A and B are shown apart, each in its own frame.
Chain A
Amino acid sequence: MTDSSVKAIAKVMDSVGDSAYVVVALIVLMALYAMLTQKNLLKVSIAISVMCSSVNMFLVLLGYRAGGNIPIHFLKGDESALMVLPTPQCLTLTAIVIGLATTALMLSLIVMLRKHYGTLDIDEIRRLRG
């Protein structure tokens, strides 16, 4: 990235400020709402994926420092330059992998549910009661 574009991004992020967290909170709430109201299993699984992504966004945001560079120590050059925090990025990578695994498993369960019950409607898949 060129120096000018880094500065441009930093300027935008400065003016945005903490409102980025509001966006994350909105997405989390949207996902929760969809999970509670949707009847279609596929839509529920989409809501879960959206929630995973929003949490990942939250983690990346936590580590962001306006104008920061990539967090690789020996590439950074001069010691005074700002870099974004590395730990949240590692957390995000791990969380993405875990999210992928659960989404895949969830979709395969949905396929099997569809085979057994012939429907994706959450209200009709109710053999376990009481």
Chain B
Amino acid sequence: MSRHLPAFLIMTPMLGAFLSPLAVMLGRTARNAVLVLFSLATLVISLGIVSATMGGNVLVYVMGGESYTLTMPSGMAYPVRIMFEIDGFNALMILCVAAATFAGALFSVAYMDRFSGWKRYMSLYFMMATGALGMCATGDLFNFFVFVEVSSIASFGLVAFWRDKPEAIEASFKYMLVSQIAAMLLLIALGALYGKYNALNMAAIASMARGGTLDKIVLALFVIVLAFKCGAFPMHTWMPDAYAEAPAGVTCLLVTVSQASFYGLIRICFSIFPGVGGAVVPWILIVLGCASMFFGVMMAVVQHEIKRLMGYHSISQVGYMLMAMGVGLLAAGGAEGVYGFKAMTGGIFHMVNYSVYKALLFLCAGALYYATGTRDLDRMGGLVRSMPWTAGMFVIAAAAISGLPPFNGFISKWMIYESSFAVHPALTAIAMITSVLTLASFAKVFQAAFLGPAKAALSGVREVPCAMLAGMAALTLFILLLTLFPSWFTSRLFDNAAHALLNHQGYVSAVMGGV
């Protein structure tokens, strides 16, 4: 049973996706039960996977066979089977996706209750979760492309879910253009790899790649494409639009879908092409990271629309992770392993933090929209009296994202500051300025939405329903756990994940046998 966890991880949400239309026909209770239970089951399975990968284990699961090659009677071996390969790093990503799926599902139960179109909403929601989980779990490049497309197509539909709003359609179309160009370039890159190495298996390619010209071109394509998809600076424009226009439960999951693209980027840089391109690739990541960090927060500060503001903050948060991973990659190639390892642990910690508090912030924004019917900060005010729970959870998430001690955001940012300082002090300066501006902009949001005199137009506003609060509370609990027990998480999970990333030989030999 536990051997088959990686297969169940994909099967559960996919089964949920196809059961959804039936469940919706059976009425509201059945619908809610399917939505919550299937996402809870996914979360439980992902916890099982995390515990199975603790201590440096690598789970390898080959679909329909023992080995990823198919041996013909004539003795020819074809590397055709699809496999999942999960080590400490993907296991964490899977946990983040599953947690966001669960929280978004709980939230959606009440949030989407007054809308029609539940059959499509639920199916697409589970499909998107399937795609993101698959991207994190797979050990095959073409399979990665397929899961990218599964999650992208589902998310196009969900971003445009409120199709009577022109902005939603426009955001979805923009997102689609960027994603499609990215997906086609991805296909070209992996086709070129197939042409050279006659394999699509990540570990098999990693064992053969020696850093020739083609490897460099392919690596450049992968970096460009996945930076597109995770919303790094020059190609970020789709991100605030799509995040703002999607229903809040979906935005919560969209955050983790872009995290899954980020995972792909890191996996390719660290495990498949370690050291290819010398110091160029890490510096590209660092520069992209700094630019996303700084410009993202600059654009966020001037926003008056709560979800767009948070969308721009996502860009700057992605910047932190890109920078941390760039520093880690730079150090992994050289001798200075200590700060590099710290950078990677910090980056991984930040990835987990980001998925959790960003998802919570988007849910809070959704709750405000649900209660007041507006996303414009200028038309809100004094809501702390009528919505105390939402206000409390918003403060926790905002303090975490701004890096206020003692919250988890502070701990991971501190690790990034310390390690990036060893590379260049300017990097730390940019990161700190970004953090201050983040705090400023969330202070503005809190003041505008929750403090001040109550507005007459908002006199009928009440706290949002319990199911929505439960979704938000699940994420708040996660933030508090990360805040209270950072050393437990670091020593058990994040260090393990960083070791897994740096241990490129381990990733290869888990599939190819002893090297």
By a beta-carbon cutoff of 8 Å, the part of chain A in contact with chain B is 28, 32, 35, 41, 44, 48, 51-52, 55, 58-59, 62, 73, 79, 86-88, 91, 94-95, 98, 101-102, 105-106, 109-110, 112-113, 116-117, 125, 127-128, 130
Contacts and interface: CB of A to CB of B under 8 A. Distances in A.
Contact of B188 (A58, A101, A113): A58
6 contacts: A35-B181, A48-B184, A51-B181, A51-B184, A101-B153, A109-B169
A128 B157 contact: no
CB-CB nearest 7 A-B residue pairs: A116-B166, A62-B195, A98-B149, A128-B241, A112-B169, A55-B187, A109-B173
Contacts of A55: 184, 187-188, 191
Interface string B152-184: 010011001001001101111110110011011
Interface residues of B, number: 37
B180 A59 contact: no
Given A35-B177, A106-B180, A109-B156, 9 more contacts: A28-B184, A52-B184, A55-B188, A91-B191, A98-B153, A102-B153, A109-B169, A127-B167, A128-B167
A79 B74 contact: yes
Contact of A62 (B170, B181, B191): B191
B142 interface: yes
Contacts of A91: 142, 191, 194
B75 to A, nearest CB: 11
Interface centre among B171, B184, B245 (most CB of A within 10 A): B184
Contacts of B163: 112
B166 A127 contact: yes
A73 B169 contact: no
A95 B187 contact: yes
Nearest to A32: B181
The DSSP consensus for interface residues of chain A is helix
Interface string B248-279: 00000000000000000000000000000000
A15 to B, nearest CB: 21
Interface of B: 72, 74, 78, 80, 142, 146, 149, 153, 156-157, 160, 163, 166-167, 169-174, 176-177, 180-181, 183-184, 187-188, 191, 194-195, 200, 241, 245, 299, 302-303
A105 B184 CA distance: 16
Nearest to B150: A98
A108 to B, nearest CB: 9
Nearest to A95: B187
Given A91-B142, A128-B171, A62 B187 contact: no
